[in-house]
Structure 1
Amino acid sequence: MEFNEFAINKLMYVTNRPEIVFTEGSGMWMTDHTGKRYLDYLQGWAVNALGHAPKCIEEALVAQSKKLINPSPAFYNAPSIELANLLTENSVFDRVFFANSGAEANEGAIKLARKWGKVNKNNQGEDRFEIITFNHSFHGRTIATMSASGKPGWDTMFAPQVPGFLKAELNDLASVERLISKKTVAVMLEPVQGEGGVIPATREFMQGLRRLTKNANLLLIVDEVQTGVGRTGELFAYQLSGIEPDIMTLGKGIGGGVPLAALLAREEIACFEAGEQGGTYNGNPLMTAVGAAVIKELLKPDFLPTVKATGEYLSAELIKLSDKHGFEGERGEGLLRALKLGKDIGPQIVEAARDLQPLGLLLNSPRPNLLRFMPSLNVTKDEIDQMLTMLEGVLVQLGH
């Protein structure tokens, strides 16, 4: 089938897309409408934790679709209870609210923090509502989560912004401390700034931030939409630093490709009252059955240790590639990594890699001077080697 036979003009324009229509996928590979195959290192922007079309998700969807799809959030359903228990049993949190996207989960975290700030007022008896976030952070595309984000240019895109978000610098504890006032209720951050360029918060910073927020009676919110659910080699990235946050958000990987997200909180923070939080599809059994299947896969004894080992292998090989081509090294955690190019050639590499023949390679360049790698968590070393060989060919082809 020719590309122009697809009625793509009915889709609203929101981003530049190549003239490719993907029709199927398996593991680390996708196939387009012409039959060409692509090695996929985007995986839906770290969404497909188990790759394309994993058996456990297929089985969960088929089995649950024959039972119950959406009884409404006004009633309990078994898969949501099972997934909530899996998440709380393997984290420091006590309560879970399920949502459909990471942005929605982050909206919920903002609402929950502000509600807690009404209950726990400042010394003058006033509500606390300000949340300190970070420059270059990314928390979603709703008005509130864009306001919380520190992405350059977003402060004017849909102005006026939602007030109450002050921006500090990641890994600079003093910059956080300077912004704390009687109105502050929380600090919110990504343990690794994914869209900002795969910039990890250091262990020391995370631990210092936890001490600072506790001493100031502030909530610590970790946005683990991209880093959670095994991406860093731990089930949740906050575990890398040995801290206990108050609120955590999940998305992307928790659904393994289906729209599922979660807002988790410790018992004493979970202060929503009836009617303050909800959503038509939240916690529906079809999606939460998939989430339970994904988490069970990740909790198998060898799964997360293998993610760590594979992440270390990818890191070491990227360093070799960097040294060979005079780049500036790599950074990241687990299987969320970036190659620092040192020059603005990322988009050029992405396009050339996609156009390789007979097999294409799908890469991402969130900043023009780096490439981001987000493979499935069960990617093999052979698939890493194949990607590196293909990338090497692109670099030679482009004269880099």
Structure 2
Amino acid sequence: MNLFNLRRSPPSLDDLAAEGFQSAASHSPSREYLMTSVEHAAQVFIRGQGSWLWDSDDRAYLDFTQGGGANSLGHSPTVLVKALAGQAQALINPGCGLLNRSQLNLAERLCTSTGSDQVYLLNTGSEACEAAMHLARKWGQLHRGGASRIITACGSRHAKHLPASDCVPFNDLPALHAAVDAQTVAIMLEPIQTAAGVVPATEHYLKGVERLCRELGILLILDEVQTGVGRCGHVLAEQYYGVRADIVALGNGLGGGVPVAALLARGNACCFEPGDLDGGPHGNALMAVAGVAVLDSVLDHGFVEHLRDSAQHLREGLSRLANRYGHGELRGQGLLWGLTLSDDCAEAVVKAALFEGLLISAPTADCLRFTPALSVSKGNIDEMLLRLARAFSRVRTAQLQCRKGIAV
């Protein structure tokens, strides 16, 4: 394994991205033809295995983003590669109006492992959330006099798609009580708000929301796109909190990096009829077999126990590192963690970490996010902590030099 050579003279933070671009560009196809809506790293990656990625210069990077948690089993896991190869040889996509065995297998496994009654398969977590809202409003037509209002929390991924009046502060039960009216059909929440800086719901809050929904006869929708399929140490994060939603949206980790998502429904929330949702490749055989492979792996004996052990090791290591460098609160659950920094230097830390051969992300200016593979080893965690410590030191040195320059 040709690991990233760390013994180089330290450049300034502003030079890190430029160096990476010059190195990668000389060995990579041009990116001028790629239409982009996000800023990409300069490196071009060509292969991956487990917790590691290699770029076109054959430099290795330890990946603690894993596609925002989508690569639940890591890069190119054998079980997923074999499942996809076998299915591709047999059947890829018979068409949305025709059933296939992989689709039925995934639906059955999802229902039995989550205590759900029906499943609708989709491609992305965003589609699953949109379908969840569509289903709730269909239920409102049938059972709540046409009520269609869905309340969510500020900072959630759904807030931008709903009127501002339908967004209330997170972890604030009184605000939620005050917002519900006769036109409210559902409350839709993330157990952990990842984009807001990995902010978990408190147990008191989420149980209170469930109780409110039951008392008022409205639906509870949980967006588990980021937290489901083992990410929080359970098949669903709702199990950790001890609540039960009427509708659950799954995505990201369900396909192990392959675009698979699911809408789970329980009880009389199972009210879709033919024609209520349009879909082309939804539930096609190739995508569905990926979901089966991932779910079977997560449900395999000993997998969750290993995950929880690794999660404890990661939490303790990050806590020590945060204390050593004077950073703030560590928030999260399982293998989903956010580390609040002492100032708005998250972008600089991400850039410095990249130079150290470590991939992490920053959902906000003062927070780092860690979403490693669910199968990550303690050795990989220890290596990540070493590289992150070097990134912290690099940023601190740059900050001190900047302050000295200003003082002069």
Common topology (TM > 0.5) = yes
- CA distance in 2 between counterparts of 1:284 and 1:264 reads 17
Letter in 1 for 2:25: F
Structure 1 residue 396: Cα displacement? 1.5
Does the 8 Å CA contact 2:45/2:54 hold for their aligned counterparts?
yes
Give the match's secondary structure for 1:379.
coil
Q: Which residue is equivalent to 1:349? A: 349
Question: Residues 140-151 of structure 1 correspond to what in structure 2 (within 5 A)?
Answer: 146-148=160-162
Inter-partner Cα distance in structure 1 for 2:56 and 2:346: 26
Q: Secondary structure of the residue that 1:259 maps to in structure 2?
A: coil
- Alpha carbons of 1:120 and 1:164: their partners in 2 closer, same or farther (altered >3 Å)? farther
Q: Is the 8 A contact 1:319 1:330 kept in 2?
A: yes
Residues 24 and 43, structure 2, Cα contact 8 Å, conserved in 1: no
The equivalent of 1:208 in structure 2 is 208
Q: What's the counterpart of residue 155 of structure 2?
A: 136
1:187 is paired with a residue whose SS is strand
2:403 equivalent to 1:398: no
* Corresponding residue for residue 160 of structure 1: none
| 1:374 pairs with 2:349 | no
> SS of 1:132's equivalent?
strand
Q: Which residue of 1 aligns with 2:386?
A: 389
Distance 2:36 2:244 in 1: 41
Report if the CA contact (8 A) 1:315-1:331 is conserved.
no
> Is the 8 Å Cα contact of residues 131 and 164 (structure 1) preserved in structure 2?
no
Retained in 1: the 8 A contact 2:150–2:184?
yes
Gaps of 5+ in 1: 140-144, 149-162
Deviates more, 1:200-209 or 1:254-263: 200-209
Q: Distance in 2 between matches of 1:94 and 1:287?
A: 21
Structure (1/2) with the larger helix percentage: 2
Residue 113 of structure 1 aligns to a residue in which SS?
A: helix
Residue pairs, 1:265-280, within 5 angstroms = 265-280=265-280
Deviation at 1:219, TM superposition (A): 0.3
Alpha-carbon distance in structure 2 between the residues aligned to 1:2 and 1:48? 24
Partner of 1:154: none
Distance (whole Å) between structure 1 residues aligned to residue 229 and residue 307 of structure 2: 11
Measure, in 2, the Cα distance between the counterparts of 1:374 and 1:9. 30
**Kept in 2: contact 1:307–1:377 (CA 8 A):** yes
CA–CA separation in structure 2 for the residues paired with 1:399 and 1:277: 52
Indicate conservation of the 8 Å contact 1:130/1:164, yes or no.
Answer: no
Deviation at 1:329, TM superposition (A): 2.7
Q: Report the equivalent of 2:32.
A: 9
- The separation in 1 between residues aligned to 2:130 and 2:77, in whole angstroms, is 30
- Distance in 2, matches of 1:43 and 1:146, equals 25
Q: Which has the larger Rg?
A: 2
Deviation at 1:175, TM superposition (A): 1.0
Tell me the CA shift for residue 87 of structure 1: 0.8
Q: CA contact under 8 A between 1:223 and 1:248: conserved in structure 2? A: yes
State the secondary structure of the residue aligned to 2:363.
coil
Superposition map of 1:265-344 within 5 A: 265-344=265-344
Matched-pair contact (CA < 8 Å) for 2:230–2:374: yes
Structure 1 pair 115/197, CA: closer, same or farther in 2 (3 Å)?
same
Which of 80, 95, 110 does residue 57 from structure 1 map onto?
Answer: 80
- Aligned-residue CA RMSD (Å): 1.4
Counterparts in 2 of 1:79-228, with a 5 A limit?
Answer: 79-122=102-145, 127-139=146-158, 146-148=160-162, 163=163, 166-228=166-228
Aligned to 2:95, what secondary structure does the other structure show?
coil
- Which stretches of structure 1, 4 residues or more, deviate above 4 A after TM superposition? none
In 1: Cα distance, 2:164 partner to 2:182 partner: 12
Q: What code does the residue aligned with 1:273 have?
A: E
Q: Output the CA distance in 1 between the equivalents of 2:24 and 2:371.
A: 30
Question: Aligned partner of 2:117: which letter?
Answer: D
CA distance in 1, matches of 2:391, 2:67: 22
Determine the structure 1 residue equivalent to 2:238.
238
Does structure 1 conserve the Cα–Cα contact (< 8 Å) formed by 2:24 and 2:42?
no
Structure 1 contact 246–269 (Cα < 8 Å) conserved: yes
1:3 Cα deviation from its structure 2 partner: 1.1
Go from structure 1 to structure 2 and tell me whether the alpha carbon gap of 1:393 and 1:41 turns closer, same or farther (over 3 Å shift): same
CA distance in 1, matches of 2:133, 2:231: 24
SS state of the match for residue 344, structure 2?
A: coil
Q: Structure 2 CA distance, aligned partners of 1:346 and 1:273?
A: 46
C-alpha deviation, 1:342, in angstroms: 2.2
User: d(CA) in 1 for partners of 2:221 and 2:101?
Assistant: 28
| Separation of aligned partners in 1, 2:34 and 2:311 | 37
Q: List per-residue Cα deviations over 1:173-219 (Å, max 9, x = no partner).
A: 11111110111000001100011110111111111110000101110
Q: Is the 8 A contact 1:342 1:370 kept in 2?
A: no
Q: Deviations over 1:110-139 (max 9, x none)?
A: 1000100111134xxxx1000000111114
Shift of 1:398: 2.0
Query: How far has the Cα of 1:7 moved from its partner?
Result: 2.5
Letter in 2 for 1:310: S
Question: Which secondary structure does the structure 1 equivalent of 2:68 belong to?
Answer: helix
Alpha-carbon separation, structure 2, partners of 1:99 and 1:292: 14
Per the TM alignment, residue 12 of structure 1 is displaced from its structure 2 partner at its CA by 1.1
Once the two structures are aligned, what percentage of the paired residues are identical? 39
Unaligned runs of 5+ in 2: 1-22, 398-408
Number of aligned positions between the proteins: 374
Q: Which whole-Å deviations, capped at 9, do the CAs of 1:304-341 have from their partners, x for residues lacking one? A: 12211211111111111111111113110100001111
